[in-house]
Chains A and B, each alone.
Chain A
């Protein structure tokens, strides 16, 4: 088994998903390479070389990979694929974007969002918003897998794997990058945070999300939201937790003014401890909460901030 892991990064920082994917890959085999595709991403490659279990880091450092456009990355990965039995990428918006393209170019299936490895060809993945868990077996010679990073622990960082530059340039005329509006925040990223406090429609407006700030500061928490809060324009889309947003599994998840629709639960029900704050004692979120507090969030949030 030889495994290629696509590194999750933004050209400057290696994201926490990658070490978790290495851990997943170790359950498949021991020959593990990491591909860093980007532009001026040498630091990312150095960080990837530190992950225990990595044999080699391959770096495709070229301006055509600056924005990791699916068209370029898929054709690069697809060319490299001939040397591997498995290709893994995190089930982030980057991995979800280019990996199915790789699978189709290589005429194999993709298995999305795996949460466990049973064997080199058998994997476990949630379907129906996590209301059912499927075990599937692939007979393809090349397995293309996206991985739900939150389901795996991170590999240690005590390695010094060799870094090798690869000189493959895959450009295209089909698609080009125009611009990006990235959310800048001092807080931890949702998918990497130990504590998350999320607001829903009950927050009533975007200004009221400030009530979560003081608590998040004290807990070192990331701030998330339900779809209803994003749709209503209270907060940006990258804060959405759920089936079709970010999937998180922090130690502590505090849901404030969120009813607990199955699509929201799909994104957070694997959190270790769940707290629900809601004025409706019948709200479904209480059924999965370890600690439910019934009451008006506008009274409770200031009290909670003071008590921490």
Chain B
């Protein structure tokens, strides 16, 4: 089976983002960028399916400026077979991303598409579901377990009330949650080998997808800061303050 794994270049999860002084956006100049952590989990799951003899080919795709090829190379070093870079300098919304990915789905006919459930920059949690709708496929979102059966995939999902398992006919869309697996690190020899793996570049505006977004960013502000930092000496002082000062317990 062929697996398609879209990956997003995003701010590294250890970095605390700052807002630009003119409130036009966040400031990403000289900030460390990585593969979005949920996309990394998607790559890892595809590799495990290949190691288990279920998947035969893993295609990595990323959409964005030329630097996204770094993230494609990282995913290839982890175990992807080849890459597709859809090149654009535009800041696209999830719907446009899903439409571009849909063109790749049509061309590549993967049996499974595994995506991260959300990107830690926009926190949108939309692309996989939108791609599923556009491709008329079933979706297993927020997956903590993926079991491929004949022509089917069983996906255990993390939901607010606990866990839910659904069965999807293939081809299908899966989005990853944190507990699906623990991603590996790329070894140095594999990083070297990944440099020779094929990466095809396609211009986004050659794909007959309307790239204009209907959502305009008006401004970006810093969140209200909490004034914390006060300490209490012991449990008695804590309970007294919660009762009489904060008045949050009886």
CB-based contact A97/B141 at 8 Å:
yes
| Residue of A with least CB distance to B133 | A104
List the B side residues contacting A174 at CB < 8 Å. 136-138, 168-169, 172
CB-based contact B214/A180 at 8 Å:
no
List the A side residues contacting B123 at CB < 8 Å. 112-113, 126-129, 243
CB-based contact A133/B220 at 8 Å:
yes
CB-based contact B133/A100 at 8 Å:
yes
CB-based contact A101/B132 at 8 Å:
yes
List the A side residues contacting B16 at CB < 8 Å. 131, 262
Q: Is the interface of B mostly helix, strand, loop or mixed?
A: mixed
CB-defined interface of A255-288 with B at 8 Å, one 1/0 digit per residue?
0000000110000010011110000010000111
Q: Give Cα A291 to B236, complex, Å.
A: 12
Complex partner residue of B241 from A10, A107, A291, CB under 8 angstroms: A291
Chain B residues with a Cβ under 8 A of chain A: 11, 13, 16-17, 19, 26, 38, 93-95, 98, 117-118, 120-134, 136-142, 144, 154, 157-169, 172, 177-179, 213-223, 226, 228-232, 234-236, 238-239, 241-242, 246, 248-249
Complex partner residue of A133 from B94, B157, B222, B236, CB under 8 angstroms: B222
Binds B, one of A19-27, A65-73, A154-162, A198-206: A65-73
CB-based contact A180/B162 at 8 Å:
yes
List the A side residues contacting B13 at CB < 8 Å. 263
Interchain Cβ contacts within 8 Å, total number:
261
Q: Give Cα A223 to B19, complex, Å.
A: 33
Q: Is the interface of A mostly helix, strand, loop or mixed?
A: mixed
CB-based contact B220/A127 at 8 Å:
yes
| A-B CB contact pairs (8 Å), 8 listed | A69-B166, A109-B214, A126-B223, A180-B162, A191-B160, A287-B229, A289-B229, A300-B235
List the A side residues contacting B26 at CB < 8 Å. 127-128, 132
CB-based contact A294/B231 at 8 Å:
yes
Within 8 A of B (CB), among A168-183: 172-183
CB-based contact B231/A293 at 8 Å:
yes
Q: How far is the CB of A150 from chain B (nearest CB, A)?
A: 13
CB-based contact A101/B133 at 8 Å:
yes
Q: Give Cα A67 to B165, complex, Å.
A: 11
CB-based contact B232/A292 at 8 Å:
yes
